[in-house]
Structure 1
Amino acid sequence: MIPAHRIEELRAAREAFVVATVVRAAKPTSVRPGDSALVFSDGTIEGFVGGVCAQESVRLQAARALETGEATLLRLLPGLAISERDPLDGVVVSHNPCLSGGALEIFLDPQPVAPRIAIVGDTPIARALTAIARAAEYDVGMVPEAGDAALVVASHGEAEEDALAVALRLNVPYVALVASPKRGRAVRESVDDELRARIHTPAGLDIGARTPADIAISILAELIAQRTAPPVDAPIESATDPICGMEVLASEQTVHLDTADGRVYFCCEGCRSAYVH
């Protein structure tokens, strides 16, 4: 059982993680239903949900669950190495040649960090956006920080350029300025050429908004549309163990060997040793 205070510590630190819980164990296995662990985005595991080979499957599928935000039931079965989607939504079946002969079902519950939005200004639009963003379970701040999902400047001319410049340097994905088209163009001109195209101004989707609340809704809608667009980032990187054929997470936490031809990943030290010798 994972202590509740540990979960609260991670949430306070704004660290994403996956709770992995064994829900079924068919002997011979080294775990029991109810055993659990925390799995982090870098592949680190706190707790115990199986031996090294089971852990590698958990590592990989937990990383994918964090990426999608969707809970997954991972079925680990003995047999030739293969991973496949079960016809049932949310179920992944992984046949693992390294298992001791038993079978496991592990529920992976992703706990992503609440997206943070920095809202600059003390205006009716800024106040409305703060209230709506909090209702949508965003973490709201007043100063842009690394890792933010968005910056919205709604200060009516106060400290606009400085806030925009900081957010752009931090590569905040969504940067918006609440301003008239004329003033928006003027502020954009004060920003480096390569960065100004990233500033959304006028801010928000064109839904005919007039009131502060409606404008705030249009801004949040534009942010949501950008956040839910198909990802352009590379998918979770995996590798195939050259000895047993198992798919593993390509991370520092996974057993690996650096060779002249590049890094080779393994499910366990046994496969690494077999590869070397």
Structure 2
Amino acid sequence: MNVYAKSSETLPEAADLLQLEQRLIDAGTPFAVVTVIRAAPPTSTCVGAQALVEADGALHGWVGGGCSQTIVIEAARQSMRTGQPRRVRISNEPAPADAKDEAGVEAHAMPCASNGGLELFIQPTVPAPLVAVLGATPAAHEACVLARRVGFRANLAGEAARAGQAGFDAAALDRAGTSFVLIATQGERDEDALEAALRSGAVAVLLIASHRKAERLREAMRLRGIDEARLAALHAPAGPAIHAHTPQEIALGAVAGLVALRHEIAEAAARAQTEAQTATIATESVPPLPPCEALGAPPVPEAQAGRYVNPVCGMSVEITNAKHVVEYGGQKVYFCCDCCKTEFERAPERYLNAGDDLHAEKR
């Protein structure tokens, strides 16, 4: 649910936002803090105003009116997906003469009739990936410590298994939200640990083992019913060859493998997003969003499920969070702000025909 504050009495105080940040950090939930760094009147916010956007699009605080909130929320969610901060300008005016580093600013047209301007800085906080280290060996303990020092959350699992108890549980790994599993059993229930890791939803499984031992364990996993697609998630040996001899050196090599995988996965995700955006631009000629006063402008087609094109100004509106809704001709029409909703209600036939599929609700 979006939290759009309407007055100073309902706006969360800075301390409230800080408490919410801490709760989200403790829960391992991503979020982004949006700060106004430039405000050109007329606008309903000021420099220094802040809001917090959760991963589901819920917005707490106030950084501008309803026309800009859709842009703010989507930019914040993209920032969370990439893990990178960004600067966003929402304005119909040229960049200010004293503005710096224009290459790093993401520009959007201001869709509201007020025609003010905003510049925002968005700082995402994405929880560190969780590594489950399976094993009760000295290398397992060292790897857990090193993983934390290089930005992972790391849990050590293996003491129970060493004592003969059920210590390797795929469901438990999933409940904890495990991203990576590092197996450092080194001869103590290797197959049980590896099977549990591969049956979990972990993105990657790293195994401290020689090439020869790794191949033997791969074959054992096939006999246990692990398919080739899942075996592709197994990385063994766990890290680069550094001719390790001591537990500390073995752990260092394994954690180096974790770091390399973390960056490879992040870079692949960023490339995929860039390619998807490029493909969309190449296949769809989408004009820039017009301001609300551009009455009668044709709406921009929106193919993404769960979104709707505001027929008045052409802005894409997220259906689940829409606050301004009108029912007309047997279908719901969604708007980015009250201004557009009011304009539509004056002459709905001007913007929308009941049988027009272009404006149909996307589910």
* TM surpasses 0.5: yes
Deviation at 1:183? 3.0
Contact 1:65 1:72 in 2 (8 A): yes
The CA deviation string for residues 13-33 of structure 1, in whole angstroms up to 9 with x for no partner, is 000000011222222111122
Give the aligned partner of residue 148 of structure 1: 178
Q: 1:266 to 1:206 in 2, by over 3 A?
A: farther
Contact 2:110 2:117 in 1 (8 A): no
Q: What is the total number of aligned residue pairs between the two structures?
A: 266
Give the aligned partner of residue 70 of structure 1: 84
Deviation at 1:266? 5.7
SS in 2 for 1:39: strand
Q: Answer 1 or 2: which has greater strand percent.
A: 1
Contact 1:115 1:149 in 2 (8 A): yes
Corresponding residue to 2:188 among 158, 178, 190: 158
Corresponding residue to 1:253 among 315, 321, 339: 321
In structure 2, give the amino acid aligned to 1:55.
Answer: Q
Give the aligned partner of residue 37 of structure 2: 23
Corresponding residue to 1:177 among 203, 207, 211: 207
SS in 2 for 1:55: helix
Contact 1:118 1:141 in 2 (8 A): yes
Q: 1:240 to 1:225 in 2, by over 3 A?
A: farther
Structure 1 Cα separation of the partners of residues 335 and 188 of structure 2: 55
Deviation at 1:78? 3.1
Q: 1:87 to 1:97 in 2, by over 3 A?
A: same
In structure 1, give the amino acid aligned to 2:195.
Answer: A
Structure 2 Cα separation of the partners of residues 109 and 153 of structure 1: 34
In structure 1, give the amino acid aligned to 2:20.
Answer: R
Where does structure 2 lack aligned partners over 5 or more consecutive residues? 1-13, 94-99, 158-172, 278-303, 327-331, 354-363
Give the aligned partner of residue 231 of structure 1: 268
Say if 2:170 is the partner of 1:135. no
- The CA RMSD over aligned residues, in Å, is 3.2
Matches within 5 A, 1:181-200: 181-191=211-221, 192-194=226-228, 195-200=230-235
Q: 1:131 to 1:102 in 2, by over 3 A?
A: same
- Quote the sequence identity (%): 35
Give the aligned partner of residue 124 of structure 2: 110
Q: 1:91 to 1:217 in 2, by over 3 A?
A: farther
The CA deviation string for residues 202-232 of structure 1, in whole angstroms up to 9 with x for no partner, is 2212333333333322222222222222325
Q: Answer 1 or 2: which has greater helix percent.
A: 2
In structure 2, give the amino acid aligned to 1:151.
Answer: V
In structure 2, give the amino acid aligned to 1:219.
Answer: A
Contact 2:36 2:121 in 1 (8 A): yes
In structure 2, give the amino acid aligned to 1:253.
Answer: N
Q: 1:166 to 1:204 in 2, by over 3 A?
A: same
Give the aligned partner of residue 47 of structure 1: 61
Q: 1:52 to 1:133 in 2, by over 3 A?
A: same
Corresponding residue to 2:240 among 197, 200, 205: 205
SS in 2 for 1:220: helix
TM-score, normalised to structure 1, is 0.81
TM-score, normalised to structure 2, is 0.64
Deviation at 1:63? 1.5
Deviation at 1:34? 2.4
The CA deviation string for residues 23-51 of structure 1, in whole angstroms up to 9 with x for no partner, is 22222111122221111222121122111
Deviation at 1:162? 3.6
Deviation at 1:88? 3.4
* Higher RCO by CA contacts (8 Å cutoff, separation 6 or greater): 1
Give the aligned partner of residue 217 of structure 1: 252
Where does structure 1 lack aligned partners over 5 or more consecutive residues? 80-85, 258-262
Structure showing greater Rg? 2
SS in 2 for 1:148: coil
Give the aligned partner of residue 24 of structure 2: 10
